[in-house]
Structure 1
């Protein structure tokens, strides 16, 4: 299959032929980003831990045959620096992380080590690199101190975190800010930005304690979908939405590195916010069968109930806006899982969804 992005598309023009390094390429968002970059003609290297499951998106795509992949841990500074030195990237997307809130309660040290110390190693490699022109450093919407406000958090709101994951992401933002002020602002022809996105859904995610993969596992087994916090709201969006924001940020940094440096939010508009219970019901509807059950919890850990991003900065200064509604995001996500479940080619489905997104 040789489907490629339209050569006249601005993002393809920005990345075609560029050497792009992606940390965390074996992860859910990283694998989608690498496929998208490859379909735009970029030379892509991924650096990450080995893929965990045979049915992860990276493995199902055969992505190690499409891009260059290096098995490595961002906590291994020597190996990370060697990858930078050999590949000489022009653009970096840093996605490698411990990404799960509930897991962070069980493994707080691993979470802090990976998301803070690992990010320091990445920023040190950036500081020492002479080839880089643009850096997109991915954190999370959970980097904000969550006051359970009904309005969205802006890029200049207070950072913080109740759980180890959220605190690690807030700390990673502070680390980035220090490097930005100490080293990057004065660097000629170079721009760096942090990007913060809400909860993403999409095909190929099998992480534990995430509503969509948990739901699909239940539906495949003929079991009801168990929902922990049915009334909690999240800014649900298809994985391609924030990735389009990350790509747009990098493209803008390549053109005007100082103007587009800093922090950026990428999330859906308020009409796409849904409760966890509503999302589960939508998933059942798209799958065509199943049921939703409220799970009883003993000794439940704290999880945010209300969280939303204000993306006016990206709308007004970058021209970025979400394309797919919550209904479309759920439909595309479940179509991916349903198609793969019935034997269709994951690479073809993923590629068609990327092209459809770019044309919408």
Structure 2
């Protein structure tokens, strides 16, 4: 095994429960798990968009996929009891900031009560050995000073989505001791802004840009100078997989890890400048004043703990991340199969990780 890459021998035949498998990150993670031979049970709502990446990558015969609402404890507990997972990735969530303003009740119910339901269901079985719960970079109490957050910083949230994810962290912490007593380790994963091919969700920068530019319209940008820790979807997924392996091994781990770029966060304006290169006719209208609900102007993560404990750090810089993402969408719109492009991105990423490790070992 090359250090810094998931261990295929560990995952081959391993029983995995993946919630949110029909979502953007969930579909990519499922794709990776399947490639290593894991036996995956997917638990999610049906995809919201007809062009959802999941429908392009997976067929029913490739996994045990169930449409279950994590807010329904009875149905969720039944699925968990039947799946008997050894490893759990909890990605199912209401993950959109602006939707959180429109539907705060549903956001808290999914992100807080849904997570509690899953923890309770897993506590009732004795098969789980590792649980990775994904939250967000927005769980921190952001005072606007632009400092990169570390895992021990206070949690908080100035909007329903952020607050619900901070509360989700508290739910996980409340179950940690009981699960540990049953031989199951749990950690949360706080990822920065994730981009990559196949995301069609509303109110996200790259999907909104692709939809506008591909239809000949100008992209309306409400906060062009807001900064975020952008990263390609494969970056945090590698972290999730390695974290799960370490949790299952019984090794000492922190209760939470940041996954984000080593370099500083970048502005929305800069990201769009790279993305527009794949769409020569792209038009963008930048708002002079911030519009819409309150959102943090600056957000940055310090991922050094993941580098120390898991031996990883981000691989692709902003230019490569955005260029690959925009190129994925351009090729998809021109008729290239989504699965083929995801395979190409995965192959390129794994090759780059392997090269980085070989260079490091020769120094």
Equivalent position to 1:303, from 295, 306, 319: 295
Supply the distance in 1 between the matched residues of 2:302 and 2:5 (Cα, whole angstroms): 27
Give the 4+ runs in structure 1 shifted more than 6 A.
296-299
Matched, 1:185 2:180: yes
Supply the distance in 2 between the matched residues of 1:313 and 1:115 (Cα, whole angstroms): 25
After superposition, residues 1-360 of structure 1 pair within 5 angstroms as 10-181=6-177, 183-188=178-183, 190-257=184-251, 259-271=252-264, 273-295=265-287, 300-360=292-352
Supply the distance in 2 between the matched residues of 1:330 and 1:68 (Cα, whole angstroms): 33
Supply the distance in 2 between the matched residues of 1:37 and 1:48 (Cα, whole angstroms): 16
SS state at 1:230 partner:
coil
Q: Is the 8 A contact 1:61 1:346 kept in 2?
A: yes
Supply the distance in 1 between the matched residues of 2:267 and 2:235 (Cα, whole angstroms): 19
* Cα shift at 1:355: 2.1
1:28-61 CA distance string (max 9 Å, x none): 1011000110011111111000111221111122
SS state at 2:122 partner:
helix
SS state at 2:16 partner:
strand
Please give the root-mean-square deviation of Cα atoms over the aligned residues, in Å.
1.8
- Mean Cα displacement is larger for which, 9-18 or 327-336? 9-18
> CA separation of 1:38/1:50 partners in 2, compared to 1, >3 Å: closer, same or farther?
same
SS state at 2:197 partner:
coil
Question: Across the two proteins, how many residue pairs are aligned to each other?
Answer: 351
Q: Could you tell me which runs of 5 or more consecutive residues in structure 2 were left unpaired when the two chains were aligned.
A: 353-363
* TM-score, scaled relative to structure 2: 0.93
1:286-306 CA distance string (max 9 Å, x none): 333312211477962101110
Q: Could you tell me which runs of 5 or more consecutive residues in structure 1 were left unpaired when the two chains were aligned.
A: none
SS state at 2:7 partner:
helix
* Cα shift at 1:339: 1.2
* TM-score, scaled relative to structure 1: 0.93
* Cα shift at 1:63: 4.3
1:275-322 CA distance string (max 9 Å, x none): 011111211113333122114779621011100111111111211111
Supply the distance in 1 between the matched residues of 2:202 and 2:68 (Cα, whole angstroms): 22
